[in-house]
């Protein structure tokens, strides 16, 4: 086991499944205790709940907190749970939803649901975590945006808007909270999860195979690809990295 995050504690929202699950496992493999914050315990892809898996696979502590990131009290509970593990050092605002839509058909309810989870959840997740971090020895906040937060998507205007907001919030917080708290954003491209294979099947079938060949990396990303970058940003290896975006897309945006 690596010691990159030894004796640190992380809250990872949306970590029962997919990218959040991979981030939690990678952090634990590198010495961190984990608060798994999600609205569900069971992984969408099947298998053992994340907090139980971490306890089996590593020597680290892990606990589950039922957390709807659109609810401030739930976010507070997730951060408070770190007190059992010496307080929060790392906050990963990963929870989010995606929806393809036609702009002229978006309802107010549709808009408010997506923005509450993707933007409000990230804003107040960062706020609750930062309050504790500035009272202690600092920390690292990592916000999961998307390549859609850089270039936009005609199929998902509300989602693109929300992820653009996450990107700019990241830069603003890096300036306000530095140097004690580092704040960075990750912009994944197409990552193979239940969302991209089932909810919005971008990675499945002939269409998916053709799409993959248009990416410079010649494949879709995996949750572990994102987790490795998240580990770097959370660790002291990134001690001089703040207020920046890291694109994890196999070259899709710039050369795809």
pLDDT digit string, tens, across residues 200-237: 656 555 345 556 667 877 788 899 999 999 999 999 99
The residue-averaged pLDDT of 151-162 equals: 93
Q: Which one from 98, 111, 159, 240 is the annotated catalytic residue?
A: 159
Q: Which structural domains are found in the chain, ordered by start?
A: 9-193+222-245 (3.40.50.720)
**pLDDT for 18 beyond 70:** yes
pLDDT at 209: 56
**pLDDT for 100 beyond 60:** yes
Mean pLDDT of the chain: 92
pLDDT at 207: 47
pTM: 0.94
C-alpha–C-alpha distance, residues 65 and 249, integer Å: 30
Question: H-type helices in the chain, by residue range?
Answer: 18-29, 50-57, 72-80, 108-115, 121-135, 148-151, 157-177, 194, 205-213, 223-234, 252-255
Can 171 be counted among the known catalytic residues? no
The residue-averaged pLDDT of 91-116 equals: 97
pLDDT at 198: 65
């Amino acid at each position: 086991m690596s010691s990159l995050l030894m004796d640190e504690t992380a809250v990872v929202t949306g970590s029962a499944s997919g990218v959040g699950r991979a981030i939690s496992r990678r952090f634990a493999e590198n010495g961190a205790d984990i608060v798994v914050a999600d609205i569900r315990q069971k992984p969408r892809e099947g298998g053992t709940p994340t907090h139980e898996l971490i306890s089996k696979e590593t020597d680290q502590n892990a606990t589950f907190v039922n957390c709807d990131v659109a609810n401030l009290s739930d976010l507070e509970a997730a951060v408070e749970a770190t007190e059992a593990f010496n307080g929060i050092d790392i906050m990963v605002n990963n929870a989010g939803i995606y929806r393809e839509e036609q702009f002229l058909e978006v309802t107010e309810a549709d808009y408010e649901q997506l923005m509450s989870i993707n933007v409000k959840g990230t804003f107040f997740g960062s706020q609750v975590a930062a309050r504790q971090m500035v009272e202690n020895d600092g920390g690292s906040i990592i916000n999961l945006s998307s390549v859609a937060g850089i270039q936009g998507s005609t199929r998902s205007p509300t989602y693109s808007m929300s992820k653009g907001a996450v990107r700019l919030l990241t830069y603003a917080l890096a300036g306000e909270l530095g140097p004690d708290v580092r704040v960075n954003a990750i912009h994944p491209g197409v990552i193979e999860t239940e969302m991209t294979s089932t909810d919005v099947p971008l990675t499945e079938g002939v269409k998916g195979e053709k799409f993959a060949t248009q990416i410079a990396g010649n494949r879709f990303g995996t949750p572990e690809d994102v987790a490795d970058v998240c580990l770097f940003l959370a660790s002291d290896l990134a001690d001089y990295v703040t207020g920046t975006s890291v694109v994890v897309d196999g070259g899709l945006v710039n050369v795809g």
